[in-house]
Chains A and B, each alone.
Chain A
Amino acid sequence: MAGITLEAVTKIFPGTTVAAVEDLDLTIEDGEFVVLVGPSGSGKTTALRMIAGLEEMTHGRIRVGDRTIGNSPPRTRDMAMVFQNYALYPHMTVRDNMGFGLKMKRVSKQQRNERVERVAAMLDMSELLGRKPKELSGGQRQRVAMGRAIVREPAAFLMDEPLSNLDAKLRVQMRAEIANLQRRVSTTTIYVTHDQTEAMTMGDRVAVLHQGKLLQVDSPQELYRRPSNLFVASFIGSPAMNSMPAEVERCGEGISLRLAGQSLTLPRDSMARFPHLSVQPGAEVVVGIRPEDMQDPSFESRGDAGQTLEMRVERTEMLGAEIIAYMCLCEPDLKGRRAHAEATRPLGAEQHQDRNDLPAIFTARLDPRSVFKRNQIVKVSVAVDRIYLFDPATGRSLG
């Protein structure tokens, strides 16, 4: 068992000029569970495959413990991988699948069987040992793939979207199971996923990648509370953070933001919270507000309904414990015109890009007793002390 260190790891696929992974620096402690998360094309799988030795680095350095493993073949790296489609050996029984790695290490047959049986018992699948992969359900295959990795007692587990082929219910169950298993065997684990929920629930730390670059590595809480830039802020959290361009104005000792003709005044300590904020007249920022920081003023639990924005309710979804409301922050004269078409537009992480010329749709998590109705113009209270500000040019957090 060992920690893994990546130094300036870069991959440029031949025939392309853009790096699939660019100067990736990442240190993973011994026994740590680190999740690489990002949308497709972010380079996360390529990074994992370079650690595995299935893909060569264009340049950079990878160290495992105190060994430097340049571009050595996978078999010398002592790592086990769990693949998205499990990659079981179709012609072998579960027992042989799990024991294959040990066989390659010339572990005696008796020892091999003992270890396979022990792990099978641990994963509660002893009765499957005699079966072939095609006789197993998706969940069982997943378990065998995990077992095959665990039996080898490798220096690290590498997992490439191992849950994405399971149905939703099983995925939630296996999520917990894998996280528990990892804690039990405490083997260094690198886990790749595009699903931020998976990343947040499983990882000790989460590394967010976008377009081949590592944007931020932090614990899930930190990542959520202090995103280093707009991409991380919108990618982490569901529903995604609302973001919109605004103008900054000085307002006495505090700061006021003008968005679409309305204004929000930030608390006095804001200058300290946003050390990188420039308050030149006309300075622009991108404002980020988490859906849970917007509330129906009647149910504002903190008794501070002072800061509000006037919005038009486009659509509400009653989820029982809360109401998800989609609301349009429109200029008064624009109200209701283009807004309707906009309400049906899917809300994604990239939505901030074309915010400028479209009425902004905000998502809010409202108290279930809220009586906001479709097409109603309402006042929405905003927790201004938890607002995020980003540089509109670089996307970097101003906090």
Chain B
Amino acid sequence: MPGVDLKRGVDPGLGEARDSATPNVIRHEESRLGWFLVLPVLIVVAVLVLYPLGFGFSMSLRSIIFGSGIPDHFVGLRNYQDVVTSSSTTAAAVHTAGYLIGALVLEVAAGLGIALLLNRSFKGRGLVFAVLILPWALPSVVSAILWQRLFAPNASGLLNSLLLDLHVISAPHVWLASTTSAIFLITLLHVWGVIPLTSLIFLSGLQSIPDDLLAASAVDGATPFRQFRHITLPLLRPALAVALTTGTVVALAIFDEIYVLNGAALNTRSVMMQVYLTTFQDLDFGHGTALAFLLTGVTTVFGIVYIRGLRRVEH
């Protein structure tokens, strides 16, 4: 068969774009423009993502401590071994797990609730959306500054003042000094910025459920609760996977809020804070990058688990 390029015969295809097997003018023109438009991005990704990734991995296998006078040398996986067994990593991991669990619970509950409330259209919904999105749009350090006076440790702190007035507490609390309350409050601040996104994810999930389906089940006599339980929830699984993945990625990297509210204090240090301190305070790049790569690995595993798990249950 003249003109058939067998190598191009099978192409899994991505999206709906069609491929062809004949090299020709149409394809040539498309191909040239395609590469022309994509090449800059490819260079950017190669130089600014892939190269540093490889460079970072090689750093994680070496002992690199600035100002220590010891020359760099290869240590294999020892950095990883060190950070895994270090007690400061364990503490940071426990704190991060706290942030993560708290954040996911609050984000899913609030996100789902808000999505359900805003699913039906009503007068002024656009305005509510504009307001809803605000906390997400603000830089997290700015949010932390806005919240700071709430958590002030003396009686003029707003939270203390409020709880004293309500006689919930008898003396002002130093909120950020105790691990539990500090982690809870920082989580609260963190989810303030993430819930808008979670809500939009659930909302687009809700809106992809055909109205007919709910109408049909209503005709069949399903109560609103049963409808929600047996139709809405199962169909929200994909949205849940996205919400959990997004929530996990940002929660595992939590840093800004802690930095502003409590600095490097031991009781609230996250893994990310530990990476920052190791790398840029101790200037121990080897251990710092090793910990960063471990965190990356954990993040990726979480993402895979959510997407796989939720897809499997669907079948």
Candidate in B4, B18, B21, B26 with the most chain A CB atoms within 10 angstroms: B26
Taking a contact as CB atoms under 8 Å apart, the answer to whether A72 and B22 are in contact is: no
Cα–Cα, bound, A14→B20 (Å): 6
Which of A55-63, A293-301, A338-346 faces chain B? A55-63
Per DSSP, chain B at the interface is loop
Give the residues in chain B near A71, CB-CB below 8 Å: 22, 24-27
Taking a contact as CB atoms under 8 Å apart, the answer to whether B20 and A73 are in contact is: no
Chain B CB within 8 A of A15 CB:
yes
Chain A interface, number of residues (Cβ within 8 angstroms): 15
Give the residues in chain B near A74, CB-CB below 8 Å: 26
Give the residues in chain B near A15, CB-CB below 8 Å: 10-13, 19
Taking a contact as CB atoms under 8 Å apart, the answer to whether B4 and A56 are in contact is: no
Candidate in A12, A53, A71, A72 with the most chain B CB atoms within 10 angstroms: A71
Chain A residues numbered 54-85 whose CB sits less than 8 Å from any CB in chain B:
55-59, 70-74
Chain B CB within 8 A of A13 CB:
yes
- What 0/1 pattern do residues 162 to 192 of A give for CB contact below 8 A with B? 0000000000000000000000000000000
Chain B residues numbered 1-30 whose CB sits less than 8 Å from any CB in chain A:
1-4, 8-13, 18-22, 24-27, 29
Task: From the candidates A12, A13, A14, A56, name the one contacting B26 in the complex (CB within 8 A).
Answer: A56
Given A71-B22, A73-B25, CB of A59 within 8 Å of CB of B10:
no
Closest to B13 in A: A15
Per DSSP, chain A at the interface is loop
Give the residues in chain A near B10, CB-CB below 8 Å: 14-15
Task: From the candidates B3, B18, B25, name the one contacting A72 in the complex (CB within 8 A).
Answer: B25
Given A14-B13, A15-B13, CB of A59 within 8 Å of CB of B1:
yes
Given A14-B9, A14-B10, A15-B13, CB of A53 within 8 Å of CB of B26:
yes
Chain B residues numbered 254-277 whose CB sits less than 8 Å from any CB in chain A:
none
Taking a contact as CB atoms under 8 Å apart, the answer to whether A13 and B27 are in contact is: no
Cα–Cα, bound, A53→B29 (Å): 13
Give the residues in chain A near B9, CB-CB below 8 Å: 14
Cα–Cα, bound, A59→B2 (Å): 8
Known: A14-B8, A72-B25. 7 other contacts (CB 8 A): A14-B21, A15-B12, A15-B13, A15-B19, A53-B26, A59-B3, A73-B25
Q: List 28 A-B contacts (CB under 8 A).
A: A12-B21, A13-B18, A14-B8, A14-B11, A14-B13, A14-B19, A14-B21, A15-B10, A15-B11, A15-B13, A15-B19, A55-B20, A56-B22, A56-B24, A56-B26, A57-B22, A58-B4, A58-B22, A59-B2, A59-B3, A70-B24, A71-B24, A71-B25, A71-B26, A72-B24, A72-B25, A72-B26, A73-B26
Query: Using a CB–CB distance below 8 Å, which chain B residues touch chain A?
Result: 1-4, 8-13, 18-22, 24-27, 29
Closest 10 CB pairs of A and B: A71-B24, A56-B20, A14-B11, A14-B19, A72-B25, A56-B22, A71-B26, A73-B26, A56-B26, A58-B21
